[in-house]
Each structure stands twice: as structure tokens, then as C-alpha cells.
Amino acid sequence: MAVTGQTVIDRLDQLFDDTSNALWTTTQKLASVNAAIDSAWPEIKDVEVDSSLTVASSTYEYTPTATPEVEWGFSVAYVTLGSNPKVLLRRVKQRQNGTAWTIILPADLTAEFNGKTLHLQYNDRIDRISAATESAELPLDYLTNYAAYWLCLSQTTKAAHFDVKPYAELIGEFRQAAERSKLRNRRGDIPHMIGIGHDFGTGQSTVGRYGENIVTNP
């Protein structure tokens, strides 16, 4: 369920009795929501598909349009056929250069699937929001608890201005509640089946052959 930033901010205002923004500005409250969105990674993430590439029989290296997280890369490769709508490809490799990725296909796969669209699955972060009216597909209890944790943490830097002890005591409670919610709502885990290497002839371990599995819901 999509949750707007304003819904989270309203919860925070009720929690801290701060509808007048005496403790935090609306900008700070929106920043706390975005901090929660950032912290959801990698337990809660989206599954995306890059379908920008077409297999060519004489082409073995491909540059996708998408740029997955550098520590993850692409996870699953498949093509669509009339008889087998989603055919999983194995022995696919990928090479990383900064944030850019190169997909490497063996010659027998390029020959077999010449002209077919290559679909590359990968995990992606939940997008930040730029205004309170925008929404994120994250649990409300997670967003509220993490945002509250972040706001309380920000208050502990103001010791010279007022007593920060009440906020310091709440930090652990809100952080633990946010972590519990994040683990309960974990999503986006997909099998990592594309190997990482300089090329497919480096001798790294490979698994199976194409066509062994039909991915019914990749």
C-alpha cells in the first residue's frame, strides 16, 4: 500500500504533539521520511526489469539501460518465446565498471535466441519523495517509527539549547520498532543467478543450461 509523506508527518505530529512545528520544521519532517525510505534498503526493495536489449547472434556483450546498485548488479536473465513465455537463461555473466554494467552471453545462447528481447531482473531502491503529497510503497508503521527515531536523534545534537534526555531515551525504542517492522515486511528478494566475472571463459562456476527452468512469475 502506498503511503504519502503527509500521512507519516500527520502521525509524527500526533505522536509528538507538534502540529505547530515547534519541535521540527516541515522540511525536517520530510527529511525524516526520506531517511526512512533510504534505510529500507536492502531488506525492502522493488523488483525491476530492463527490457532494452535485443539478442543478436554475433553480439556477446550488451550494455543495459538500467544501472542497478553496485553491490548487487542484475540477478536473473530470461527471454520470452511463444511456446515458453519466460525462459530462464543460465551461464550469463556480468562485468561492472563503476555504475555501468555489461552483460555477457555465450555464443550458443546468442545463436539460439537471436532477435529475442533480453529481460534482466534486478533489485532497486524505493525512490525518495520530494514533497509530502508524494508516496512510497512502504509500511506506515515502519516509516513512522524510523522517522520518529531520526527526529529524536536530531534533537540529541541540541544539548546546549534544552534537555535532550527524553529524546535520547526514545531513540532505541523507535529504532527497534522500525527494524522489527522492516524485517516483517521484507520483500524483493530474487535469486541471484547471473555470475560476476570478466568474461564467461574465466573458469568461474556456472549453473545449468538455458531452457531448464520456465520462470512463470519472474
Which are the contacts of 217, defined by CB distance < 8 A and separation ≥ 6? none
Tens of pLDDT along 70-100? 888 999 999 999 877 889 999 999 999 888 9
Residues in the chain: 218
Phi, psi values for residue 19, rounded to 5°: -65, -20
- Tens place of pLDDT per residue across the chain (218 aa): 799 999 999 999 999 999 999 999 999 999 999 999 999 999 999 999 999 999 999 999 999 999 998 888 999 999 999 877 889 999 999 999 888 999 999 999 999 999 999 999 999 999 999 999 999 999 999 999 999 999 999 988 765 556 778 888 899 999 999 999 999 999 999 999 998 764 433 333 333 333 333 333 33
Q: What local confidence, expressed as pLDDT, does residue 206 receive? A: 33
Instruction: Report the greatest alpha carbon distance in the chain.
Output: 71
Distance of CA 35 to the CA centre of its chain: 14
Domains of the chain, residue spans: 3-39+139-184, 46-125+189-196
Secondary structure of residue 13 in the 3-state scheme: helix
Which are the contacts of 166, defined by CB distance < 8 A and separation ≥ 6? none
**Burial of 86 by CB count in 10 Å (0-12 exposed, 13-18 middle, 19+ buried)?**
middle
Contact by Cβ (8 Å): 142, 182: yes
Output b/e per residue, 170-205; b: 16+ Cβ within 10 A.
bbeebbebbbebbeeeeebeeeebbbebeebeeeee
